[in-house]
Each structure stands twice: as C-alpha cells, then as structure tokens.
Structure 1
Amino acid sequence: MVHHIEAYHDSVLRVKLQNECTDGDISYVHVVIESDEEISFPQVQLAWHYPAVNIQAYWHPGSFRNKSLGVDWSKGFSSKGTVVAPVGCFLSSDGRNRLAIAYSNAIETVNFHMGIREEDGTIRCQITLFSEPSKPMKRYEGTIRIDQRDIPFEQAIQAISYWYESMDAYRPCMIPKAATFPMYSTWYSFHQELVDKEIEQQCRMAKEIGCDTVIVDDGWQTTDNQRGYAYCGDWEVAHQKIGNMKAHVQKVQAMGMKYILWYSMPFIGLHSKAWDTYKDKLLGYREHLQAGVLDPRYPEVREYLISTYETALNEWGVDGFKLDFIDEFDLNKANDKALEKDGRRDFDSVQEAVECLLEGIFARLHARKADVMIEFRQKYIGPFMRRFGNIFRVADCPNDAVTNRVGTIDLRLFSGNTAVHSDMLMWSPEDTVENAALQLINVLFAVPQLSMRFEKLPPEHIEMTKFWLKFWRENRDVLLFGELRAEAPELLYPNVQARNSSKVVMAVFGSPYVKVVEPGNKKLFIMNGTLHQELVLDVDRELPNRVVEIYDCCGNLVSMAPLAVQKVPHRLKVKPSGLAILTCLK
C-alpha cells in the first residue's frame, strides 16, 4: 500500500489530493492546486513513504550507469519538457517492478526526490512542483501514476510511456523509415575540420559498409576549428569547406544516402553577424563558449530559428536536422536581465516558449517534407520531445561500449516507437578486431551510428563492421521491433534479448552464462559480447534437432554441427565477439 500523501506548501494555496481511480495495482492520484488570486505559485511538495521491501535498484530516464537507490537527503533529479521526464521505477534484484511512479506534467519543471529514509527503512517519495517561477494562474492540475504491479520492470516502464502517449500533449510524431537504419556521423571522425570531398569519400565507404544516412556535424558553418560556439548563429556555409552546399548534398543523395545537418539550436556566437540583433534577447551568456543562449520567449527569436531550418530544407534539400543543446533553454541558468519583465516577450514561461518554438519548427518542416528526420540526444528525450523528434540518440560516450549499451537500452525502454540510436561508434585502429567488435555488439538493440575514418581502419575491422551491420539489417525486425528484455539494470544490463514470433536474439556482456527461456522452434541467435572463448547455454528444456553455426567476429564460419542432445547446460565454443546461431532442423 502507498502511504498517505502529504502536501507541503505556502498557506496561500489550497491543495486537494484525490484518489482518482485504481486499475488493479495502479493508482492515479489527482492533484488540484488553487489560489484566490492569479499568482506565480510557490513550491509545493507532495510526499509519501513506501516500505523498502525487496527493492535493490532504482531506474529513471537520466540514471545512466547509476541505478543505485540513493538516500532521501540527496538532491534527486529535475525534469521538464527538454530534460528527461518525471518518472522513476524501483525494482527487485530479479528484475520485478516494485514501485513505478510518473507525473503527468512532463513539460514544466518537476523535481523527483526519491531515496531510502534511514530512520525507518522506507523509501521517501517526494515530488516538488514549481521549483522555478510559474506563470501567474489561479488553478493547476496534475496526476501521479503509481504502479505497484509485480511485473517485469521493463513492462512497468513501457506502460508509463504508453500512458504519456495517450495524452494529447505527448502524441509522438511520425517515424520515417530512414530514421531506423544505420547512419554515419562526421563528428568523431572530422570534428570541425570538414571538407566536402572528404565527406563524400566517407559517405561512399559508409554506404558500402551498411549506412544509409550521413549526419554532417559541427564545422560546416565556420572556419574556426577551436570547437567553440563563438561563430554560431548565422548558419551560412563556410565555402572554404563546402564550396556548394546544394550540389554537395545532391552528390551524397545520389549515392543512396540521406543527408542530416547539425545546428546548435540555442547558441548565438559573440562573433556572429547576428549577435548585434539578438544580444539583448538572451537567457544568458556562456563565457567559456563565447556564445549567448537565445531567449525563445521573444517571437522574433523563434521565427529566426524556424526560418533558418526552413531555408536549409528549401535551398539545400537536406533530409533532416540534428538539433543540439535544447536543454540549454533553462531559466535556472538565466541572467538577471532575463528574469526581469519585458513587454516584448509573448511568454512568461520558457518551457511554454520552447513548446511553441518546437511546434513551429516541426509544423513548417513537416509541411515541406513529410518524412523529415529530427534528431535529439540525451537528456532531451522524454515524452514531450517525442512530439517533435523521431530520433533519440545516446549522449556522447566515445569508445565507451558499456555506457553506449546502457544508454541505448534505457532509451529503448521508455521511447516507444521513436528510433533510438547509439552514440557514434569510434575506436582505435590499433585495437584488436575483437575489441572493436564489442563497440557494435553492445548497441545492436538500437540503430547504430558510426564515426570513423574508414580508410584508416585495418581490413579486418572493415570486414567486422560489414558483418555486424549485415547481421543487424537481416535481423532488424526483431532487434528494433521485437519484445525487449534487459536484465539487471543495476549491473548495466549484462544480458539483453529481443524476440518475435520466429526469432530470439540474445547478447551476453558480463558472464558467458546464457539463460534461454521458452525458445520453442524459434531461430536462436546468441552474441558473445565478452572476450571469453566459450558460452555456457542453459535452457529450460532440451533443444533436440538443432544445428549450431559458430561465426567469429568478422563473420567467418568456424564450425557447423548438430547440437548434442544432452543434459543442459551446453558448452559452446564461441570466440570473443563471435556469434552462435541455433536453427531447428526440418
């Protein structure tokens, strides 16, 4: 049972909490906050306690590699439309949901403050509203969803995602087919040192390897290669790098590749031509970046940004946009001037202004190109952002396969049908091919992005990459769209699997032990995401009439033989980063 929810607030407010309805072990607590006068509401805290029984981990959309329970005196995390979501799930060590909590308002700032209370061994659950100034109002409503069902934690998280989808404020946008195929990015491979002919060369190789889209990142708009943002804001092509953008885009598209272009959405550089126009319409200035953060509460700021992307679509014929740093639209980081009243603004709330901005961007781009792709990356990946973006990417984690795995699985669990992409893959050309293969295997339950200079890779690295992208494409139906299970988030998902009516694809990343439940007659793929030389296969029944194919990490067939009918477990000699395929004999 959820204990009684207490509300802590300023006395000028009236707070009513009503148990709206109960659906099995799911409760909905309706929150109504009222004032006699139209005011900016002060903070309101909603708190209750829950017994910490059989709870060993805590998942939330921004938890990344830290799935620890935490303590009730910690800061918790804040969410808003452009930063994660007000969602948390406490689970047991066997992956069962114990308590999944979500709050209906995923647009305005909400603080989730959940952790162990030392005094009595309970979890103190606290949701704080209005931690930053609200627009003046007399009435506010919201709903707390509390799920105590004994179900797999993945299902509890996915159910929250479906709950948001059912609300008009969070209807996801369409997902172009192209968004669900591998992509090549220029960021790690070029950084800002872009040259059109070199981009085209990489695109030809990327297409041959198995990528269908290029994302041209930072650098196309400036000759300054210091990795700052002092020259952002004009969004004119640096012709020393790309002589003719339209012709360049068409050359890439003629290869069968889509073309996505990067923009740092909120930044206006100190040395841009647009600086003088917008320097007094900023939320703040970032000295270390030599750039200001545009204030979207000004209608002319919104129109400037929208028309910038619309122009790129119309004049250059690009297929999509990577819109970066959206979480920088943050009133908590604003300077004093941005906190003062200004009659030129048509919004008081930054989040409402961002919503208006994103609505304008998506509507005008979608009207021009129905299948336009828009990429956002962690942390701007919640239900609100699904209205405007059809690609969610893992935050930057170069050469870090484990963080990439955790990021892709976290996103897959909470993002519905939005295309989830890995961070761009890169590794040292001097590394072993088995180690390089781990970069791919760790992200195959999402859409891989790559960012390597392919001509610098050894031939075996190229063959390995081709093999795993070919495997991904052949099994995309189950890897992206099958039922996803991911064990032990607190241990960074050491076992992941996806299944549909005909296939089961499994991957192990820690121990070489593989537990298979109810394989039936389905074709079984087991990826060895370890450097062990053997996999130990344990099944809940014998697997007669199966042939086993073993491949190394480059796709070379190592062995093929019937699976010995014996007592489990089976011991399969699978090389590091290799693959075992078990097929029923007809």
Structure 2
Amino acid sequence: MPSIAVTTAERPPAPTTALIDRVSVAVLVDGAPAAPVVRELPDGVKALDVSAPEGAAVEIRLATPLQDAVGYWYPDAGWQRSLPPDWAGRMNAGLVHGCAIGCLYETSGQTLLTFAAEDATVDTHLVFGVSEQRKLFTVHVELTAGREPFTVLFAGRSPSPAAALRPLRRRLVGAAKLPPLALPEVGRTPAYSTWYAFGQEVTADGVALEAGRAAALGCGLLILDDGWQRGGRERGYAWAGDWQVDTGKFPDLAGHVRDVQGLGMAYMAWIAPLLLGPDSPE
C-alpha cells in the first residue's frame, strides 16, 4: 500500500507562486506541478482557476507564515477556533457537507488567509493546520477534476473574518445564479418544534394536543421534526432515504395537517433529502 503523509511537510515538494498578501500557492495535477490562472476581480478578490483533464487528481496547496495567527474558521469548526496541527485538520466539503471555505485570523481579528471554492457542490477533501516543521499554516485542497475548471476565490487582508468573507459570499451567490430565497411571513412568527417535547416519539394525537396549546400562546408555525417517517425510531439514520410516512404514528397525515392549520398555524415537516442510509430499501 502507498504511504499516506501524516503531515503536510511529508508531501513531495512543489514549486510555489505568490498569490495574495503573504499567501503562496502550488498546484499539482496527478502529482505533477501545473500552472494555475489567477484573475483579478472587483472588491480586491482574486480567482484561482485550475484546469485539468476530467478525472485527474488535483491538489491545491496554500501556505502563509504563521505571523500572529490565533484561530482558523471553517464551516465544520463548531466551537473549535484554535489552530490545529497539520496532522489533525481534516474536512470533507461538497453538496452534503458544505462549501470548501476557510479563514485564518490573528489576535486583532485581522485576516491572514481567506478562501472559498466557487462551486460548493464539488466533492473536496481539505487537509489543513500548522506545519511545525515549516512554521507555516497550510491548506491542501484535494479533488477529482471535472469538465469545468475548479475556481478558488481569495479575499485580501480584512479587519475581521466577517468582512473578508462578505465579498466571497456575494461571489458564491452570483456563481450559483440563484436569487436569495424570500422569507415567508410565517417565518417571522413564534414557532413550536416537536423535537424538544417528543424527540422521535411523535404521534398525530400528541402533536395535535401540543399544537392547540402552542396556538393559544401565539405560535404561528408548527414544525413536525424527526420521527414522522418510517424508521424514525432509530438513531444513526442507517434507514434514511425513503421518507415515507409512519402510518402507525400518523394514520392520516394530510388530515392531521389540515386540523393543525385550522388552528391558524402554518405546518412544516422536517426532511433531509440528501441523507441516504445504507439500510434504505430504495
């Protein structure tokens, strides 16, 4: 079996190019150095375009001196804001997991590296963290080349991560060619979610009883959370993917919804269409 690099320092060297601020970039296609195309965009944003034959292994390496770095934000960071070592920082990105985005910042909040993949649906694997041997913060973006070039957007130094990410967000929305979703009026009203009272043990009668109480308290929306679907008594979601009504809990779901709506409440049901488990018969 081929050896797997534990740290970014163990990867074969590749020629680097200055990209933005003190950030350098190296691009490899099937292990060989490749020349990316860098474009200047409005708002101080730069675009890095990587073209490769479809199916080729692409690796984009980013690096910047540690300087006064204290934190690194990325979509899966949760409450973790410290600097991981490069043998620990890992993230999968794509349609299910979220976009390949990252922001390194220093004590004052000033950013040192801010990037975002323009196409949020491409499956990518990110390896990132502090290279103790090289005294750098590194990010390696790995993917399989598709038919179109893969583009990564970069923002220059900004006073805060929010300020740096703002122009990238505008670019991502524009690239998706989707207008922002309008907020329905019911989205501004108090809501009742069944999860906090029932967990997965929801039933039509139990939800209807709670809906009456919630409506009397001024709630305008009922959210039927996890558990309404067949298989919805099992955590782990190995069964997920069919999204058929559990008729033992909801013998007449449509009728139940009409009854709740008759109380003056809007009705919303939780569903995770991209969640597909290995035990799904479909």
Q: Distance in 2 between matches of 1:223 and 1:16?
A: 50
For 1:121-520, list aligned pairs within 5 A: 121-130=135-144, 139-169=147-177, 171-222=179-230, 225=233, 233=242, 235-238=244-247, 240-263=248-271, 265=273, 285=278, 291-292=279-280, 294=282
Residue 128 to residue 202, structure 1, CA distance change in 2 (3 Å): same
Which structure would you say has the larger RCO, counting Cα contacts within 8 Å and 6 or more residues apart? 2
Give the Cα–Cα distance (whole angstroms) in 2 for the partners of residues 229 and 128 of structure 1: 28
Residue in structure 1 matching 2:28, options 3, 8, 13: 8
User: Match of 2:45?
Assistant: 26
Cα deviation, residue 61, structure 1: 1.0
Letter of the 1:54 counterpart: D
Contact preservation (8 Å) 1:25, 1:149? no
Instruction: Give the alignment partner of residue 53 of structure 1, picking from 67, 78, 81.
Output: 67
Residue 114 of structure 2 contacts residue 155 of structure 2 at CA under 8 Å; is this kept in 1?
Answer: yes
Deviation at 1:212, TM superposition (A): 1.8
1:79 positional shift = 0.2
SS of residue in 2 equivalent to 1:197: helix
Deviation at 1:62, TM superposition (A): 0.9
| Alpha-carbon displacement from aligned partner over 1:402-448 (angstroms, at most 9, x marks no partner) | xxxxxxxxxxxxxxxxxxxxxxxxxxxxxxxxxxxxxxxxxxxxxxx
| 2:35 aligned counterpart, secondary structure | strand
Q: CA deviation at 1:249?
A: 1.2
Deviation at 1:230, TM superposition (A): 5.4
- Identify which of 99, 114, 126 aligns with 2:128: 114
What SS is found at the alignment partner of 2:36?
Answer: strand
Whichever residue aligns with residue 242 of structure 2, its letter is G
Q: Output the CA distance in 2 between the equivalents of 1:206 and 1:66.
A: 36
* CA gap 1:180/1:96 in 2 versus in 1, 3 angstroms: farther
Letter paired with 1:292: S
1:533-559 Cα distance to aligned partner (Å, 9 max, x none): xxxxxxxxxxxxxxxxxxxxxxxxxxx
Task: Give the superposition deviation at 1:4.
Answer: 3.9
Q: Which residue does the alignment assign to 2:87? A: 73
Alpha-carbon distance, 1:72 to partner: 2.3
Deviation, 1:225, is 4.4
Where is the helix percentage greater, Structure 1 or Structure 2?
Answer: 1
Q: Report the CA distance between 1:237 and its aligned residue.
A: 4.8
Q: Distance in 1 between matches of 2:119 and 2:230?
A: 39
In 2: Cα distance, 1:102 partner to 1:113 partner: 14
Cα deviation, residue 8, structure 1: 2.2
Unaligned runs of 5+ in 2: 1-20
1:233 and 1:125 mapped to 2: Cα distance? 37
Gaps of 5+ in 1: 269-283, 286-290, 295-586
Aligned counterparts of 1:231 and 1:53: Cα–Cα separation in 2: 46
Q: Could you report, residue by residue, the CA deviation over 1:150-172 in whole angstroms, capped at 9, with x for unpaired residues?
A: 32221222332221011145544
Determine what percentage of the aligned residue pairs are the same residue: 21
Pick the aligned partner of 2:116 from 102, 106, 117: 102
Q: What is the correspondence of 1:82-93 to structure 2 with a 5 Å cutoff?
A: 82-93=96-107
Equivalent residue pairs, number: 261
Q: Distance in 1 between matches of 2:51 and 2:199?
A: 50
Q: Name the CA shift for 1:2/1:146 in 2 (closer, same or farther; >3 Å).
A: farther
Q: Distance in 2 between matches of 1:265 and 1:202?
A: 27
For the residues of structure 2 that align with 1:174 and 1:151, how far apart are their CA atoms? 30
Over the aligned positions, Cα root-mean-square deviation in angstroms equals 3.0
C-alpha contact (below 8 Å) 1:212/1:256 kept by paired residues: yes
Contact between 1:25 and 1:148, CA under 8 Å: does it hold in 2?
yes
Q: Look up the SS of the partner of 1:201 in the other structure.
A: helix
Amino acid at match of 2:160: P
Shift of 1:208: 3.4
Alpha-carbon distance, 1:48 to partner: 3.2
CA contact (8 A) 2:238 2:280 kept: no
SS state at 1:63 partner: coil
Partner of 2:17: none
Is the CA contact (8 Å cut-off) linking 1:57 and 1:69 kept in structure 2?
yes
- Structure whose CA Rg is larger: 1
How many Å separate the matches in 2 of 1:2 and 1:31?
20
Q: How many Å apart are 1:293 and its aligned residue?
A: 7.4
Partner of 1:565: none
Query: Offset of 1:145 from its aligned partner?
Result: 1.5
Q: 1:234 & 1:113 partners in 2: Cα distance?
A: 34
The whole-number CA distance in structure 2 between the counterparts of 1:257 and 1:30 is: 49
